[in-house]
Structure 1
């Protein structure tokens, strides 16, 4: 089963921790590498697809938290740069949604990995660091999902997610502000509510400025951890896809302009 719209991928995406042992085929790997090349050129990041490497997730597989992880994205970028961490979330999630469109599964991973093994198998240039990784591959029992309708898969996946409420995602707005906000803002927030985040903290929240028609994304500093900027980037991408069109400026408080 494949999905033509990125919003479809958002709606059916969930964190996949158990994988089919079948390797990613060469054509699929070539498509992902092409997408990575484009993203790296655009963002200045150094995201890489590592295939057929089981040692990085060895401890997580041994503990039962994951199964059959043999492929992952290594998320590499400039050392100590929060803007690049945000871009890593934004563009890394773009790659993951592309993979989901092609019936692959993925899971962002901040811990549960052997970082030394990842660093041994990926390329890290001078001035760069490994931010985190994302497991990727064919989900366990993926053939069963291929027989299901889109609506059925959405329903199943929705039971696997927990999320803060819409009100929590728009914490600075009152009920009247929310009622008067345009439909694209509501759709953007609803898509961001489905975004993955480290330890499911969901530190990003959004506001709408009726005077100039812009939205803003913020970090909840009570819920943040070391991956807050990565989570902010992921949430911004989901919002942008849900809103339909437009672009963000980077950073905490970055503005979204509808196009």
Structure 2
């Protein structure tokens, strides 16, 4: 039986939102988000920021139909040229995405479908920092209908939202017998990781498990390429940690998971 926690619920219902209601984010929601972002920045050493009412950043994407009414974003800012910074950004910014999901807001990670130069002009970025990515945020179109939907309906929509690789594909090299006898937390963690967003939905993260030592590690699929692999790694690690019911990851590709 799956653990029932708020963060697990958020994983089960989160989908990428492309169509937003033109209504502004409510002030109480904005305050909740800002408080969450401040706490996450303190923990992570990042410089995440909520930027509101900047339609110029998404003018072309809105005009093309890639987005509808996108105008707010979370700026994912961290240290320059830092793979660990990008991994931390994926891990901690996705924590904000899940919080926003619980607040009833829609979100979507953004890499290329925005004007990054215009976005940076709205942000506070120190000389030793860079803008990694953005996360669109706002009320989903027809959000009152969305908020009134039953959890089961939202969860079903998440399952049908996109194709996904299997647990077996996500833990390559394990035999069927090894999978059958694998600890429950491993399977729950991987299933949660498979619900994580990734660039172009490539799902480039793979897990390994050593039955002798009980050690779990996360890294990249052999064929994985792209600018956002470490960001994807951080996001997948957070989802795994939540699904597993606790524990701590070390940073880096191939780094181990320390079971709580």
Length-normalised TM-score, structure 1 = 0.96
Moved over 3 A (4+): none
Query: Distance in 2 between the 1:55 and 1:182 partners?
Result: 49
Query: 5 Å matches for 1:75-114?
Result: 75-114=76-115
CA distance in 2, matches of 1:252, 1:221: 12
Which residue of structure 2 aligns with residue 138 of structure 1? Answer: 139
Residue in 2 that maps onto 1:165: 166
Alignment of 1:44-63 (within 5 A): 44-63=45-64
Residue in structure 2 matched with residue 202 of structure 1 by the alignment: 203
Contact 1:50/1:74 (<8 A) preserved: yes
Q: What residue is the counterpart of 1:251 in the other structure?
A: 252
Paired residues for 1:177-216 under 5 Å: 177-216=178-217
1:134-156 deviation per Cα after TM superposition (whole angstroms, max 9, x unaligned)? 10011001111222211111112
The Cα offsets for residues 37-79 of structure 1, whole Å up to 9 and x where unpaired, read as 1111111111100011111111100100000111101111101
Deviation at 1:109, TM superposition (A): 0.7
Whether the 8 Å CA contact 1:48–1:75 is kept in 2: the answer is yes
Deviation at 1:172?
Answer: 2.6
Alpha-carbon distance in 2 for matches of 1:152, 1:162 = 18
Rounded to whole Å, the distance in 2 between the matches of 1:203 and 1:224 is: 8
CA contact (8 A) 2:106 2:137 kept: yes
Q: How far 1:187 sits from its partner (Å)? A: 0.2
Contact 2:24 2:138 in 1 (8 A): yes
Paired residues of 1:4 and 1:101 also in contact (CA < 8 A): no
RMSD, aligned α-carbons: 1.2
* Residues in 2 aligned to 1:250 and 1:21: alpha-carbon distance in whole angstroms: 39
Aligned equivalents of 1:127, 1:218: Cα separation in 2: 27
Partner deviation per Cα, 1:157-209 (whole Å, 9 max, x = no partner): 21112211211100132212211110010000000000000011111111112
d(CA) in 2 for partners of 1:7, 1:224: 29
Give how far 1:4 is off. 6.0
Q: TM-score, normalised by structure 2?
A: 0.96
Q: How does 1:64-79 map to 2 (within 5 A)?
A: 64-79=65-80
Q: How many residues align?
A: 257
Alpha-carbon distance in 2 for matches of 1:171, 1:221: 11
Gapped runs of 5+ residues in structure 1?
Answer: none
**2:140/2:146 contact within 8 Å kept:** no
Q: Which ranges of structure 2 fall in alignment gaps of 5 or more residues? A: none
Name the structure 2 match of 1:118.
119
1:5-36 Cα distance to aligned partner (Å, 9 max, x none): 10100000111000011111111111111111
Contact (CA 8 Å) 1:14, 1:161: kept in 2 or not?
Answer: no
Partner of 2:18: 17
